[in-house]
Amino acid sequence: MIKAAIVGGSGYTGGELARLLCRHPKISLEAMTSRQNAGVKVSNVMSFLEGFVDLRFEERLRDGDYDLVFVAAPHGASMEVVPELLRRGLKVIDLSGDYRLSDATVYKKWYGLEHKDPQNLGRSVYGIPELFRERIAAADLLANPGCYPTCSALGLAPLFAKGLVEGHAIIDAKSGTSGAGQQPTPVTHHPACASQVTPYKVGTHRHAPEIQMVLERLAASDVDVVFSPHLLPIVRGMLCTSYARLKEPMDIGSIQLLYREYYHGKRFVRVVPGTPSIASVVGSNFCEIGVASAGKDTVVAMSAIDNLVKGGSGQAVQNANIMLGLEETSGLDFPGLGV
């Protein structure tokens, strides 16, 4: 068994990693750290893990012969612990935003922080396996993508990779509240958000430059990204409705065919004839995509994921599998809830 640890494990991302790893056939979860809950049994904090994770949260990662460390700390905190882990020779998968943007200046602009580990920015590999699989296998520092970039980029990738659309993308994203993390805030206070859909950080969200980076890499040219996230009154799941305009007329049947071909052989991406369903992917690592046309020349790409799985911990496990030479689907090969 491969030995793994989770640093910063008491949030939703950490709990979700533990939920997935506890039934992984090849990876054994050996440690979880949490400053806040140090010394407490993991299953006392997360009752659903009782009988599956028999660990106590540790203050900090003990020495040990781990093969891989998942860092589930918030941005800003990750770049404080990652350098030391790399020095110890460990493979690292960072789930924060700290190692996603290749340029420290861009990082500072959007995150408002000076990057403390700029030398490792070039070393990090951005991990959406369906789009950038080749470099992931060789990575020792993997930047696990944000939920919004994963979902929207998978929805738009065939259009930009094949050069079919102009360099302008509008992403109207709707996310469940678990994406906001475990800390209560006025925005995620139930009376304030439960009978609403709440647009927030329109044009200013940190995932905008990350989406732009991915689309430009696919298109090999400039892309102007308009990103409007909305908070949905559901807990898990995300839908991105993304808009781009065709350079040349193309009927929707051909576009759908193109999508199916583009994702042929990608186990976790499912192209459906109609509109995608969040319920079909909740709890699983799947992304469901539907595509439609509207107006004169606009393509509407709709993509649904579970923000905590394919948009976070599940994709991290998928990346781990690739980095470790395991089956890409190992520990993730089960369907969503459906209902």
| Rounded least distance, CB 48 to a copy of itself, Å | 4
| Rounded least distance, CB 275 to a copy of itself, Å | 5
Burial of 108 (0-12, 13-18, 19+ CB in 10 A): middle
Active-site residue identified among 147, 193, 240, 287:
147
Catalytic annotation present for 147: yes
Q: Which is nearer to a copy of itself, 84 or 224 (CB)?
A: 224
Strand partners, 292: 300
| Rounded least distance, CB 129 to a copy of itself, Å | 16
- Residues 32/58, Cβ–Cβ less than 8 Å: yes
Q: Which is nearer to a copy of itself, 62 or 247 (CB)?
A: 247
The amino acid at residue 339 is: V
Q: Which is nearer to a copy of itself, 104 or 292 (CB)?
A: 292
| Rounded least distance, CB 95 to a copy of itself, Å | 15
Instruction: Determine the 3-state secondary structure of 285 from DSSP.
Output: coil
Both tokens of 9, joined, read 């494990």
**Maximal CA-CA distance, the chain:** 62
- Residues 323/137, Cβ–Cβ less than 8 Å: yes
Both tokens of 91, joined, read 């493979």
Q: Which is nearer to a copy of itself, 45 or 137 (CB)?
A: 45
266-289: b (≥16 Cβ within 10 Å) or e: bbbbbbbeeebbbbbbbbbbbbbb
The catalytic residue positions are: 147
